[in-house]
Amino acid sequence: MLSYRHTFHAGNFADVLKHLVLVRVLRYLTRKDKSLCYIDTHAGAGGYLLEDPQAQKTLEFTNGIAKLWTRDDLPGALIDYRRLVRAFNDSDDLHRYPGSPWLAAQLLRKNDRLCLFEAHSTDSALLQAAFAGQRNVRVTTGDGFQGCIGLMPPLERRGLVLMDPSYELKTDYQAVVDTLLKAHRRFATGVYAIWYPVVERNRIEVLERSVVASGIPRVQLFELGIRSDSRGYGMTACGMLVVNPPWGLRDEMELLLPYLANVLGEAGEGHYRIRELVGDQAGPVR
């Protein structure tokens, strides 16, 4: 039975990295007029109230979006991300945080589609309510891994797939690789963004080796850490694996990740990694 609720973690440093990459990729993809399909395998509730008791219990957003909320030295791409989060709030105060589906919906056009999957029945109901009446959005309650594969290739032949399971189930580490392999075979030119948490470093090393061994070309890794790796409880870092990254994404992350590591890092332990996990062996993203 699934018990994970993102409300506890909304707006934390992991959301900052994940949503920053999401926004930058969609900004690139929407430069062309051709329609595209956005697929979110673990879409969540769509938005979160930071005054909710669950968010207040952990206060993780205080070391994430809250630290960026009033800074006047943000790089341009972070200003763009923060502007979107501000739009989700109805005042200058930070009290709500958007989920990936809401952010994607703000950047996509009328001729684009959003296919959202959420297995948790409560969050799925909230997601359906948030997008009620929007004809280009389809919300499905169920397994996003299988649902994603079933949509490949999308009718638009252009698209972005976001995979960000909670990793509450240890099998999720292998599931993201298996899903990526199957989806990529059907839709090799799509952009795939896979979020991962660093709780046990050895699991991430296995994940990286599995992606390299898959034979899938053009994979970049972007990782942000707020504390040094530890054997103790808790997430010390997180990352995004991006397959078929748009041109220019790495250059932007070279500027943004050092800034975030400095601002969000705890006790001077902020760190980051940028790595070309698999080289450029394929054509450019269309």
Query: Which residues are designated catalytic?
Result: 164
Q: Are 108 and 26 in contact (CB under 8 A)?
A: yes
| Sign of the dihedral defined by the CA atoms of residues 37, 41, 46, 51, in that order | negative
The alpha-helical segments, DSSP class H, found in the chain are: 13-29, 53-58, 65-68, 76-88, 100-107, 121-130, 144-150, 172-186, 201-213, 249-264
Contacts for 150 with CB less than 8 Å, ≥ 6 apart: none
What one-character DSSP code corresponds to residue 63?
Answer: G
- Give the CA distances from residue 283 to residues 96, 170, 190, in Å, rounded to whole numbers and listed in that order: 40, 34, 11
Q: How far apart are CA 49 and CA 157, in angstroms?
A: 36
The answer to whether 114 and 62 have CB atoms below 8 angstroms apart is no
Q: What angle do CA 164, 139, 88 make, to 5 degrees?
A: 70
Query: Distance between CA 240 and CA 221 in Å, rounded?
Result: 6
Give, as one character, the DSSP assignment of residue 246.
P
Taking the C-alpha atoms of residue 98 and residue 84, their distance in angstroms, rounded to an integer, is 9
CB contact set of 102 (below 8 Å; sequence gap of 6+): 46, 47, 88, 130
What does the alpha-carbon distance between residue 95 and residue 169 come to, in Å, rounded to a whole number? 30
